[in-house]
Amino acid sequence: MAVKSREDRIKSALELAEETKIEMEKLKADNEAIVKEAKEERNKLIQEARSIKSKMLEDAKGQADEEAKKIIESARVKINSEKEAAISDIRNQVAEFSVEIAEKILKMKLEDTREQKSLIEKTLDDLNLN
């Protein structure tokens, strides 16, 4: 009977070992599936992060390009405005110098009474012709 009892215990231990082995293989398979799923999720998150990064960089570049265009256009407008102001100022200065020169020439010519009479006669002749 001791042998039978011993055989039953050995048989029971072997069955338990087999069940444990099957359970371990099942746990190992479950663990591998979990690891595989985690890796897939990690890869998916990395890809999403890369996509978001790429879009953010593209958006930032677009905004920078637009801002640069605005700055350039603003500078162009300011340069043209300053150019027009400078041209206008130069024209005004030339006109003032021309008037001053004409005044000096007329003063010099009109100091002589003969020149005054000649200028008056010429102006009257020009008026009569028109």
**pLDDT one-digit tens code per residue, 51-87:** 999 999 999 999 999 999 999 999 999 999 999 999 9
Model confidence band, residue 106 (pLDDT cutoffs 50, 70, 90): confident
Which residues, 6+ apart, have CB-to-CB distance to 110 below 8 Å?
116, 119
DSSP secondary structure letter of residue 31? H
Q: Is 2 exposed, middle or buried (0-12, 13-18, 19+ CB in 10 A)?
A: exposed
CB 99 within 8 A of CB 89: no
For residue 27, give the amino acid letter.
L
For residue 98, give the amino acid letter.
S
Calculate the average pLDDT of the chain: 89
CA-CA distance, 78 to 88, in Å (whole number)? 15
CA-CA distance, 19 to 27, in Å (whole number)? 12
Model confidence band, residue 130 (pLDDT cutoffs 50, 70, 90): low
Listed residue (96, 120, 94, 95) closest to 106, CA to CA: 120
